[in-house]
Structure 1
Amino acid sequence: MKLVLHSYTFRRYPLRHVFAVAARHGWDGIELVHFHFDPARVEAEVADAVALGRRYGVGVHCVGYTGDFVDADPARRIRSLNLVERTIAAAARHGIGMVNGWSGTLERDPDDWRVNGSALAEEVHYERAADGYRRLGEYAARHGVRVGVEVYPGSVHDTVAGAAKLLAMVDHPAVVATADPGNAYVVSPADRDPAVLDQLAGRLGYFHLKNLHPGGGRADFNVDTADGVLDNYAWITKAASLGVPAICVEYCGDGDPHPPIARAGDYVRDCLALRDDLARRHAEAEAAEAADQPLRRAALAGAAGPAR
């Protein structure tokens, strides 16, 4: 499993800083988002980012996109889809196997995520999003790229259930889900239990990890990955059990991002090491129990006395 650093973490720093930090802490790649490139110049910007990353010894795992596929204006939808296709092509040109983003947003109150996105969505919004992702899936498949659909506040897929519904409508292997429990926690009580990821079994292509404290209808991200209300050991091990190929860690809070993101990398590695150690201990205990069974049966038989 790859461990990826989200470039949003260092949104106040230049891209070279992101690569340098990723190299220092042994991250396997970065997620390149629009804070660090101009989407209107995506071809040149991705090429420059890849060249820069090569100098630091760190690759680009995926490139971000921001969709507008649910808008009522067909012209806006087409412009948005054209730009995502350019992003896919730019990624493919440099061997980047994934783009990640969302289909657009529906917003009533920016301070209360619970009343936006899927709470406002009508079936037509899902149909527009599904039409867009079917087109992108076909295009991406021809380029050897996967399209991540992120569980994102304000989108029709702001919960795991919404993402699962959309992916079922799209029904294309190149379109996969990007789970993000931190984005969904305040939106849906169901998204507070890692078992909700079972709805994405076979379609979980990526995973975003952070932590939070609820702040009314919003999330307060000023918290380390190991703290907050999410049991991230449970989320990490659940995502791993479903075969997710990469976990992307981000710090979305205020202040200096360097200490929390350094601790976050160690935390994820420790969680995976703990999972493996516990699995070994469980296996040893179960083997010991199985070996004890004949002895226990013999002892019970002896205690019962000879058969009559």
Structure 2
Amino acid sequence: MQDAVPEVWAANLAEVADAGFDCVDPTDSWLRVADLDGARRHEFIAICKALGLRIPAISTSRRSVIDPQHGDEYLAYSHRVIDTAAELGAGHVSFGLFGPFTPAQQKALWFWTEQGVQNPDDPAIYRRAVGRIRELGCHAAEMGVQIALEMYEDTYLGTAADAVRFVTDVDHPSVKLNIDIGNLIRLHRPVEPWPAMIEACAPFAGYWHVKNYYRIEDPSGLVMSHPAPLLGGTINWRAAIRHALDLGFDSPFLVEHYGGDGLGVCAENRDYIRRILSGRTAKA
């Protein structure tokens, strides 16, 4: 996709527009907009405008600033993402500390059923992570952009308590949490109850990735999960979103889904969120 002709981008984005979306997050697992040269980036922007798609945010994936091999490279890339977000008029970027897929995850039907890369239990590397995210926060503030840190298992943002500790240690007004608790609810292991995670993290909520999973916990200890629409699944997103709104949440949502007609489910998730927001506005 990175080297594709613009017509390929247009075909992909036309499907998003045809599904009724008027905004798109060009997440870098699809296209690294920040690594396009100026001419190609302008072509990309022109395609989005022609399709009526605004870009409120850019998400990154598996480009951790503390990656043991590519950390310096990914830090420089993250700075380019912030600059690109400002150029595109996107007010939000999402960064994470999760690493590349392991070979076992690449082979699995659902990658979260296999153990992924873990952030090391090393105070020096933790401090490096805090320092580098604070550095990005300072840059983001200069550009009028807000950072959201994605919650993800086995990282320094892998539990509610860890995520709150990390964002508190970063201690920068431009750095908030991407409370993507679907990443945790889907794990085939014991996890915190979703209401507890929302209660702890909602005060720090920024740009928010939302998805849901059916989660089954057998008395034998067996745990299984499967992607679900927001309206179904284990997490009560109406309650979660309303709680965040009560605390002043005002950032965009990114709707996600794995499997099946993912784009179609995302469109339904979008409409579900809009009904929640509409009902909230009417009551206000």
Whether the aligned pair in 2 keeps the contact of 1:106 and 1:155 (CA below 8 Å) is no
Q: Structure 1 residues 190, 118: closer, same or farther in 2, change over 3 A?
A: farther
Paired residue type of 1:232? W
Q: Write out aligned runs for 1:252-291 (5 A).
A: 252=258, 254-276=259-281, 279=283
Shifted more, 78-87 versus 103-112: the winner is: 103-112
Q: CA RMSD in A?
A: 3.2
The percentage of aligned residue pairs carrying the same residue is: 24
Q: Write out aligned runs for 1:2-41 (5 A).
A: 15-17=9-11, 19-24=13-18, 26-38=20-32, 41=35
Whether the aligned pair in 2 keeps the contact of 1:99 and 1:147 (CA below 8 Å) is yes
Shifted more, 115-124 versus 24-33: the winner is: 115-124
| Aligned counterparts of 1:137 and 1:218: Cα–Cα separation in 2 | 37
Query: Residue 211 of structure 2 aligns with which residue?
Result: 210
SS at match of 2:176: strand
Shifted more, 226-235 versus 21-30: the winner is: 21-30
Contiguous gaps of at least 5 residues in structure 1: 1-13, 281-308
Paired residue type of 2:134? R
TM-score by length of 2: 0.77
TM-score by length of 1: 0.72
| Aligned counterparts of 1:145 and 1:218: Cα–Cα separation in 2 | 38
2:191 is the alignment partner of 1:189: yes
Structure with max Cα Rg? 1
Paired residue type of 1:208? H
Whether the aligned pair in 2 keeps the contact of 1:43 and 1:87 (CA below 8 Å) is no
Contiguous gaps of at least 5 residues in structure 2: 1-7, 106-110, 217-221
Out of 92, 98, 101, the residue aligned to residue 95 of structure 2 is 101
SS at match of 1:138: helix
Q: Deviations over 1:165-185 (max 9, x none)?
A: 111111111111111121121
How many residues are treated as equivalent by the alignment?
262
Q: Structure 1 residues 218, 106: closer, same or farther in 2, change over 3 A?
A: farther
Higher relative contact order (CA 8 A, sep 6+): 1
Query: Residue 176 of structure 2 aligns with which residue?
Result: 176
**Shift of the alpha carbon at 1:211?**
1.1
Whether the aligned pair in 2 keeps the contact of 1:159 and 1:191 (CA below 8 Å) is no
Paired residue type of 1:55? A
Query: Residue 4 of structure 2 aligns with which residue?
Result: none
2:238 is the alignment partner of 1:233: yes
Q: Structure 1 residues 191, 34: closer, same or farther in 2, change over 3 A?
A: farther
**Shift of the alpha carbon at 1:161?**
2.3
Out of 58, 63, 71, the residue aligned to residue 63 of structure 1 is 58
Q: Deviations over 1:177-224 (max 9, x none)?
A: 11112112145633511x533433553111121111237677422x22
Query: Residue 53 of structure 1 aligns with which residue?
Result: 48
| Aligned counterparts of 1:127 and 1:176: Cα–Cα separation in 2 | 18
Paired residue type of 1:212? Y
Q: Deviations over 1:40-79 (max 9, x none)?
A: 7245454433221111111111112243222345xx3221
